[in-house]
Structure 1
């Protein structure tokens, strides 16, 4: 197993801007993100830091704005590779796929924001590319949504996407469990769609 830790969009927008992460609270997720980064570095696991770019006139993530900047706790930590992206998936329009191949990576561990958007897009694409994927559920997060299709709380969004990930696309675990798995040279275990459905049938 050759892991890489992908740290997605841990930018000020999610902390002090107009897209604040609600669940899990950033007081939980940010320390876990940095713990994962520190554990990865100690274990020799490459760390890829990702930053989302939006046009200068955008109300969120406007390139060069304070909201666009990486959170200081992430920015001060060393990264093996840095990627700027304009789409949800870290693979789209970037060199991630080539970097993964060049470095012999077969397992991606995903942390950062947002669970249901950039994390999800990256997880799905990685799984479709045949990579093993892990998602640290206490090192990501979501805001609440409301639009013409409905309304969902941040907790609902994060929980539902984490449940779906674990059914097929990515092994979902805590940062603590992941650090233990890294020490033991093991992968987190994911579930499967069949059993995920069967457990709900009375």
Structure 2
């Protein structure tokens, strides 16, 4: 089984001082860096996904801004693939599926930001396309949300999405367990 790491949207706008900071993005990015290091050491393929909004009215991830840059903890190395997207689903409007197929990947390991949006959409799409999917839960982060007058803390948002994904779409593991498999 050949697997590839897909790093979704770990970008500066999601960190303190950015336009849309998440809950504990630093811890998630540190765990993502650990997994990235393990994939690099094993010579396994890595695909970076970068959300870029061309809309000049966008409140975050505006093309050309510091906020849309991939965070330094998981910055692409020379030769690593970087695909830009404009939708939550990393497969929509990109060459992600053909890239993974060309790499011979039948398993994708997904981590990144936001658990409740782009990670969720990407994982579900990968599963629907027939890939075996693993999500590194502690290398993902979510925002605090509000619905119907109820505030939902980011930790609860993240846990709910990981629980839903683990039900039918993916195997959900911590970074330390994944790094041990290399």
TM-score normalised over the length of structure 1: 0.84
Paired position in structure 2 for 1:65: 65
User: 1:103, CA displacement in angstroms?
Assistant: 1.5
User: 1:147, CA displacement in angstroms?
Assistant: 4.0
Q: Is the 8 A contact 1:56 1:64 kept in 2?
A: no
**Runs of 5+ unmatched residues, structure 2:** none
TM-score normalised over the length of structure 2: 0.93
What is the distance in 1 between the residues matched to 2:86 and 2:119?
A: 14
Q: Is the 8 A contact 1:113 1:119 kept in 2?
A: yes
What is the distance in 1 between the residues matched to 2:73 and 2:67?
A: 14
Aligned length: 180
What is the distance in 2 between the residues matched to 1:177 and 1:138?
A: 11
> Does the alignment pair 1:113 with 2:127?
no
**Runs of 5+ unmatched residues, structure 1:** 184-202
The equivalences for 1:130-149 within 5 A come to: 130-148=130-148
Q: Which is higher, the Rg of structure 1 or of structure 2?
A: 1
* CA distances 1:108-164 after superposition (whole Å, capped 9, x unpaired): 101110011000000001111111000001100101011447431101110011111
Q: Is the 8 A contact 1:48 1:79 kept in 2?
A: no
Paired position in structure 1 for 2:50: 51
> Does the alignment pair 1:20 with 2:24?
no
Paired position in structure 2 for 1:190: none
Q: Is the 8 A contact 2:48 2:76 kept in 1?
A: no
